[in-house]
Amino acid sequence: MLTACWMKRGTQMRIPTPGTPQWHHLFGAYNFVTDEVVAMAAPKKNSSAFVAFLDTLVQQVTDDRPIIVVLDNASYHHSLTAQAGFATLEARLLPLFLPVYCSTLNPIERYWRHLKGLACANRLFPSMQTLIDSVMVNLKQQNDHNSLNRFSIRKDLLIST
């Protein structure tokens, strides 16, 4: 992933490309209260993987209160498989769908940008596994409250007194 960066005037940053595109998908949920992230890797981004992620989310969040899951309008969020998953987990999950074309309102989108900047911006990895390893290290740091690389949304600006 090439990102905006400073360069000397008249120079152009170059990053070699690997040739054949490879894909590895990551589902994630950002906890607005604790700034922690629950994530799950998947070989495909589809309804079945999404429902498996919802199961993972419910298992990892031990709080008894319902989990509000903010969703954009990806097709696999609205599929019959996803609807069945929401129905099965309705005691624990409350889906909240954002308006169309408003995915930037979802806090996880801001976190993904932060993660990409830390884990993979302006670099070519020798293999998909080394890229995945870099992402996983940075994901782990997000849930370490002592890490200096944690992403956080300022809540004091959002709550009026």
The first and second tokens of residue 129, run together, are 């596994």
Model confidence pLDDT, tens digit, residues 109-126: 999 999 999 998 888 888
Q: Considering only CA atoms, which of 38, 122, 51 is closest in space to residue 87?
A: 51
The first and second tokens of residue 64, run together, are 């008894």
pLDDT at 11: 80
Torsion angle in degrees (nearest 10) through CA of 15, 21, 24, 25? 90
Model confidence pLDDT, tens digit, residues 91-100: 999 999 999 8
Strands 67-71 and 93-97: parallel
* CA geometry: angle 96, 99, 101, nearest 5 deg: 130
What lies within 8 Å, CB to CB, of 15 at 6+ separation is: 2, 122, 123, 124
Task: Go through the domains of the chain in sequence order and give each one's CATH number.
Answer: 25-142 (3.30.420.10)
Q: Give alpha helix (H) positions in 3-144.
A: 47-60, 75-78, 80-88, 107-119, 128-142
The first and second tokens of residue 77, run together, are 């969020």
CB 93, CB 69: distance < 8 Å? yes
Model confidence pLDDT, tens digit, residues 132-157: 999 999 999 999 999 999 999 887 76
